[in-house]
Amino acid sequence: MVDHDVALREVTKRFGDLAAVDGVSLDIERGQFLTLLGPSGCGKTTTLRMIGGFEFPDTGEIYLRGEPMGRRPPYRRDTSMVFQNYALFPHMDIAANIGYGLRERKVAKAEIARRVEGMLALVELPGLGGRRPKQLSGGQQQRVALARSLVIEPTVLLLDEPLGALDLKLRRQMQLELKRIQREVGITFIYVTHDQEEALTMSDRIAVMNRGRVEQYGSAEAIFERPATRFVADFMGASNILDAEVVDADAGSARIRVAGAALTVSEAGLRPGDRVALMVRPEKLRLTAATGPDGTMADGATGWDATVAARVYKGATMAYQLGLPGGHALVADVANAPGGARFEPDQPVRVALRPNDAVVIRG
Amino acid sequence: MARAAMRAGGGTAARGGQGRGPDRGALGRRLLLVYAALVYGFLFLPILLVMVTSVNPDGRATFPPPGVTDRWYRDLVSDDQMLEAFRTSLTVGAIVALVATVLGLLAAWGLSRYTFRFKRGVRALFYLPMLVPGVVGGISLVIWFNRIGLASGFWTIVIAHVVHALPYTLTLILTSFYGFDRRLEEASRDLGAGEWSTFRRVTLPLVMPGVIGGALLAFTLSFDEFVLTFFVAGGGVQTLPLVIFSRIRFELSPVINAAAAVVIAVSVLVLLSGQLAGWARARRQA
């Protein structure tokens, strides 16, 4: 049986009439980096705060290492939270901040000092124990908040958009840093963010949330490559999503009608008449000037006749904005290979994609 | 006295601080300056006069004073009634500061943390003693003490002063609580501190400026309170303002100037020490 550090069972939390979290169930394996990803108001922070004991579910149950938490307060849970704006104690120096939880646990003074030093080394802030929080930069305060939470050796570390206040360069650096620290201490991290790139960079597993529900729960790759719902595809930054209808299906593939053309896709389990959506990554689209008799290419790719609306040079690639029949639009990223074909605005082109590159979204 | 000056001074500062835009011109600024000078003069000249007169050998407000003497102060320290009243005022002030601060702390906690029915009404009730005229408040308290059978004296003075000081103390403490980042308490609880430990180690140190300010203000309000005290003191116990008043009814003794100067000095020193403590604290944390 898999070792679950945290399990949520049908957890619901209402604020007035609004269900902030609506029947969420999750199993989080020990030592994983899990990200709750979603737009603001999707319930990700409320979910995190319920795991930490700052809010309690109206219905459902949260288990830590198999033990139901009920209405147990934060100071009697083996979780620790890194807050969005760090919440460092302004009236204490850095060492006292980091040692706060240990002092509360009646650890001996010398032992506290030793472990605080160890933590300062882990977060790469040696020698700053005597400073006040205000004397540190945002990134340094972030590391102190992390050290303060880790020093009490929690089962689960909760992080509520901890990098939100940092500039982009520092964010990128801290993302890798967090990942390193997580590997080093080996405990479960539950991370809340609205930044999909951040989620992809750090997470073992991602739960994409929307309107209080988990839309999809899976590996970063699965979420990005095979979004289960249109919302997930859209949120993960997909630019090409088109409505489609299944016209014909057999065991391993199907024909779908999208923007006036019939496409072959490798997707099992579809039935004729199903309303679905087609997602295709811009870099998976191929452009040619030629058109075959029935539009099918040698490798089975199918596609549309389209017109180049505009193009943008992006260094390694050229981004083409394409107009499709019926007013639909697509974006294609074509590698700028030496001697490769270029297409001019208003030029008619053939857009093709291989059956394997099309992602069919059912939700 | 100090209180009246403080309130009025705060008012003018607020009015002067409302920027009307730089295009108003130099004349407008100069008029404003004259206006401010007049207000401050009106407020502080009488106080200054008392202090100057307290060292005037004539014992009267002659100008220019013919010299400087400490005679009235020596008279004051050998005046047993004055000294007894001074001690009473200090004791009452200290007790009032303590009681008003504890009550203010509890009320501020409730008002800033919880939402409940009639919360606005409850908060307004806390401020009501500020609006009730002293005479009305005094009579009401006398009737009430009489009704519950509490004899006039030391404790009725303390109770009246607490009623009088609490709105001001509460205001200061409440301001600290409203500016407080609740996530600090969450962080404390998260790190293993229970409710009481969190209050002692995080909440209280951070609202301390308001608490200290509230306590000092309560002390000064009590120290120079007259109207309520006059009603509830009865015959036995006398505070310094009561003695000063009873003396000027019979004779305008120069000792009174010295006593008044002491009252002013105590009030100013107490409030100033609060300010200094605040600055020192701010500098330590910066």
Where in chain B are the domains?
A: 72-285
Q: Token pair of B249, please?
A: 């009814």
CB B129 within 8 A of CB B167: yes
Determine which of A207-211, B190-194, B279-283 has the lowest per-residue pLDDT on average. Answer: B279-283
Peptide bond into A338 cis (omega under 30): no
Any idea which architecture A238-362 has in CATH? Answer: Beta Barrel (2.40)
Task: Report the gap between the CA of B173 and the closest CA in chain A (Å).
Answer: 18
In this prediction, residue B85 carries a pLDDT of: 93
Name chain B contacts of A87, Cβ cutoff 8 Å: 181, 183-184, 186-187
Q: How remote is the C-alpha of B157 from its chain's centroid?
A: 16
**Looking at the complex, does the CB of residue A212 fall below 8 Å from at least one CB of chain B?**
no
Residue A88, min C-alpha distance to chain B (Å): 7
| B192 inside 8 A of chain A by CB | yes
pLDDT of the residue at B60? 78
CB-nearest to A87 from B187, B193, B285 is B187
pLDDT digits (tens, 9 = 90+) for B100-155: 999 999 999 999 888 888 888 998 999 999 999 999 999 999 999 999 999 889 99
A148 in reach of chain B (CB within 8 A): yes
Q: Choose among A90, A91, A148: nearest Cβ to B191.
A: A148
Taking a contact as any Cβ pair under 8 Å apart, which residues of chain B between 203 and 222 contact chain A? Answer: 205-206
A79, A80, A90 ranked by CB distance to B285: nearest = A90
Asked if A346 has any chain B CB less than 8 Å from its own CB, the reply is no
- What would the pLDDT profile of B64-115 be if each residue is shown by its tens digit? 888 888 888 998 889 899 999 999 999 999 999 999 999 999 999 999 888 8
Q: Determine how many CB atoms are found less than 10 A away from the CB of residue B84.
A: 14
Q: How far is A84 from chain B (nearest CA, A)?
A: 9
Q: Say what the pLDDT of residue B21 is.
A: 53
Query: What pLDDT sits at residue B283?
Result: 75
CB within 8 Å of chain B, chain A residues 162-181: none
Question: Nearest CA to CA, how far is A80 from chain B (Å)?
Answer: 6
Q: In Å, how far is B189's CA from the nearest CA of chain A?
A: 5
B-chain residues within 8 Å CB-CB of A80?
190-191
B285 touches chain A (CB under 8 A): yes
Tell me, rounded to whole angstroms, the distance of Cα B113 from its chain centroid: 27
Number of residues that this document lists for chain B:
286
Residue B189 contacts by C-beta under 8 Å, 6 or more apart in sequence? A73, A74, A75, B195, B198
Residues of B in contact with A54 (CB under 8 A): 186, 190
**Residue B130 burial (CB < 10 Å; 0-12/13-18/19+)?**
exposed
Report ipTM (2 d.p.). Answer: 0.80
In this predicted structure, what is the pLDDT of residue B61?
A: 76
B195: which 2 tokens? 């409710």
- Average pLDDT of chain B, as a whole number: 86
Q: Best-predicted range by mean pLDDT among A111-115, A300-304, B13-17, B276-280?
A: A111-115
Query: Chunked in runs of 10, what are the mean pLDDT values of chain A (363 residues)?
Result: 81 92 94 94 94 95 93 94 93 95 94 94 90 91 94 94 87 90 92 93 94 94 90 87 89 85 85 89 83 57 86 89 87 85 86 86 81
CA atoms within 13 A on the CB side of A247: 11
Q: Which amino acid is located at A188 in the chain?
A: T
> Which tokens go with A182?
């997580």
The CATH number of A4-234, from 3.40.50.2300, 3.40.50.970, 3.90.1150.10, 3.40.50.300, is 3.40.50.300
Residue B4 has pLDDT above 50, yes or no: no
Q: How far is CA B1 from CA A110, B43, B47, B225, in A?
A: 54, 10, 8, 9
| B192 to A101: CB separation less than 8 angstroms, yes or no | yes
The 3-class SS string of A200-267 reads HHHCCEEEEEECCEEEEEEEHHHHHHCCCCHHHHHHCCCCCEEEEEEEEECCCCEEEEECCEEEEECC
Tens digit of each residue's pLDDT (9 = 90 or more) over B30-74: 999 999 999 999 999 988 888 888 888 887 777 788 888 888 899
Among chain A residues, CA nearest to B207: A91
Query: Which pLDDT band, with edges at 50, 70 and 90, does B175 fall under?
Result: very high
Length of chain A: 363
Give the Cα separation of A100 and B185 in Å (integer): 12
> Of the candidates B190, B194, B201, which has its C-beta nearest A80's C-beta?
B190
Dihedral sign of CA atoms B166, B172, B178, B180 in order: negative
The confidence score (pLDDT) of residue A314 equals: 86
- Among partner residues A52, A81, A134, which is closest to B285 by beta-carbon distance? A134
Nearest CA to CA, how far is A103 from chain B (Å)?
9
pLDDT at A267: 84
Backbone φ and ψ of A360, nearest 5°: -95, 125
Nearest chain B CA: its distance from A180 CA (Å): 23
Look at residue B3 in the predicted model and tell me its pLDDT: 45
The reply to whether A130 touches chain B by the CB within 8 Å rule is no
Chain B residue with Cα closest to A55: B186
- Disruptive mutation site among A50, A81, A98, A159 for chain B (greatest number of B CBs within 10 Å): A81
Separation CA A115–CA A118 (nearest Å):
5
- What are the structural domain ranges in chain A? 4-234, 238-362
State the Cα–Cα distance between residues B233 and B226, nearest whole angstrom.
Answer: 10
Does the beta-carbon distance from A81 to B202 stay under 8 Å?
no
DSSP A42: S
Residue A263: both structure tokens together? 């496409």
Structure tokens at A142: 């972030």
State the Cα–Cα distance between residues B74 and B49, nearest whole angstrom: 20
With 70 as the cut, is the pLDDT of residue B19 above it?
no
Q: CA nearest B187 in A: which residue? A: A87
Q: Which CATH architecture has domain B72-285?
A: Orthogonal Bundle (1.10)
pLDDT at A2: 56
pLDDT at residue B11 tops 50: no
**Do A100 and B193 lie within an 8 Å CB cutoff?**
yes
Name residues whose C-beta falls within 8 Å of residue A38's C-beta, 6 or more positions apart in sequence.
A44, A194, A208, A209, A210, A215, A235
pTM of the model: 0.78
pLDDT tens digits for range B181-191: 889 999 999 99
Interface of B with A in 161-190 (CB under 8 A): 181, 183-184, 186-190
Q: Distance of CA B215 to CAs A121, A250, A251, B145, Å?
A: 44, 83, 82, 25
Helices A138-150 and A168-185 cross at an angle (nearest 10°) of: 20
For A198-240, how does the pLDDT look when each residue is reduced to its tens digit (9 = 90+)?
A: 999 999 999 999 999 999 999 999 999 889 999 999 898 877 8
